[in-house]
């Protein structure tokens, strides 16, 4: 059985990707940070549909925990799935957040850097020995780092996502000898729990942000989850080093 590790699978885009990938018959190990109950609910939903899944805690900002995390992943693969390697890694866990450039604190900058770039960078390095040759890595970038999505107030966030887009291309080159494909999705504004539930707290923003897309609405987690599943699957076997915008035509 192939198994995918999806960071941040307790909510939003990661949860949608986990459900979609599981539907294709791939086993899923998803991670959560604060929302254990939601992670278990996603596992239960996958199992109810006939799939196989497990959930593990992970703080992507805590590099010191990665050795222990990798050991727990290896044990979960053996005990829960009967395999010793991961086939796919989806680096999705993350947060939102911004401030006008003049007000960006070192704390906000460092938090975004740790969570969005440094964490997935070194977690992937740590998990490389566990990843099968011929497998895939999918990173979650953002339109905030593309010409179509430049917005005032997001310099620190967008810069981390730009770094994710760049490392996607470099890893694709570097891991090609192992036939590991590396791609990224760049979601536009998507209705998740991001920004402390910003879409629940400020529903008036939903219509406003929706107008930025050619299709006139914001994205739903499934819109992005389906594309992540495509980049994991064999239908994209000839695709590597790409950043795929998933935004309903933002900025067109
Ligand atoms: N929504 C958008 O408009 C949008 C647009 C472009 C890119 N993105 C990117 O999409 C990715 C997924 O975000 P989302 O929109 O789906 O948000 P979400 O609904 O808030 O989900 C975020 C997920 O990441 C996990 N997470 C948060 N901080 C973490 C940490 N320090 N360590 C480990 N896991 C952590 C959360 O776990 P717990 O809930 O268990 O704490 C949750 O599973 C992020 O990388 C985000 O930057 C989102």
User: What are the structural domains of the chain?
Assistant: 3-246 (3.40.50.720)
160 C-beta closer than 6 A to ligand 1: no
Average pLDDT over residues 230-248: 98
What is the average pLDDT value for the chain, to the nearest integer? 97
CB distance 250 to ligand 1 below 6 Å: no
CB contact at 8 A, 122 and 63: yes
- The model's confidence at residue 181, banded by pLDDT at 50, 70 and 90, is very high
Q: Band of the pLDDT at 57, cuts 50, 70, 90?
A: very high
Q: What is the atom index within ligand 1 of the atom nearest the CA of 35?
A: 40
In order of 24, 26, 67, 173, the CA distances from 179 in angstroms are: 21, 19, 25, 10
Looking at the predicted structure, is the pLDDT value of residue 196 above 90? no
Report whether pLDDT(195) > 90.
no
HSE at residue 56, side-chain half, CA atoms within 13 A, is: 22
Residue with tokens 């299709």, as numbered in its chain: 215
Angle at the Cα of 170 from the Cα atoms of 168 and 175, rounded to 5 degrees: 90
pLDDT band at 14; cut points 50, 70, 90: very high
CA-closest residue to ligand 1 atom 17 = 194
- For residues 69-96, average pLDDT: 98
């Amino acid at each position: 059985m192939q198994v995918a590790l999806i960071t941040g699978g307790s909510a939003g885009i990661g949860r949608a990707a986990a459900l979609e990938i599981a539907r294709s018959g791939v086993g899923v190990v998803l991670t959560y940070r604060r929302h254990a109950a939601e992670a278990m609910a996603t596992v239960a939903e996958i199992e109810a549909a006939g799939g196989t899944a497990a959930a593990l805690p992970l703080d992507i900002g805590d590099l010191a925990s990665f050795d222990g995390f990798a050991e727990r992943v290896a044990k979960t693969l053996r005990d829960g799935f009967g395999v010793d390697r991961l086939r796919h890694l989806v680096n999705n866990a993350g947060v939102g957040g911004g401030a006008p450039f003049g007000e960006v604190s070192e704390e906000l900058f460092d938090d975004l850097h740790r969570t969005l770039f440094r964490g997935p960078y070194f977690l992937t390095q740590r998990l490389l020995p566990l990843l099968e040759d011929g497998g895939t890595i999918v990173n979650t970038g953002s339109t905030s780092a593309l010409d179509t999505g430049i917005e005032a107030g997001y310099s620190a966030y967008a810069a981390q996502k730009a770094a994710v887009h760049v490392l996607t291309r470099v890893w694709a080159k570097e891991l090609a000898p192992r036939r590991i494909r590396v791609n990224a999705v760049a979601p536009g504004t998507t209705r998740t729990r991001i920004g402390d539930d910003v879409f629940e707290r400020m529903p008036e923003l939903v219509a406003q942000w929706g107008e930025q897309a050619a299709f006139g609405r914001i994205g739903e987690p499934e819109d992005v989850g389906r594309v992540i599943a495509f980049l994991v699957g064999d239908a994209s076997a000839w695709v590597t080093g790409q950043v795929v915008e998933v935004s309903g035509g933002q900025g067109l």
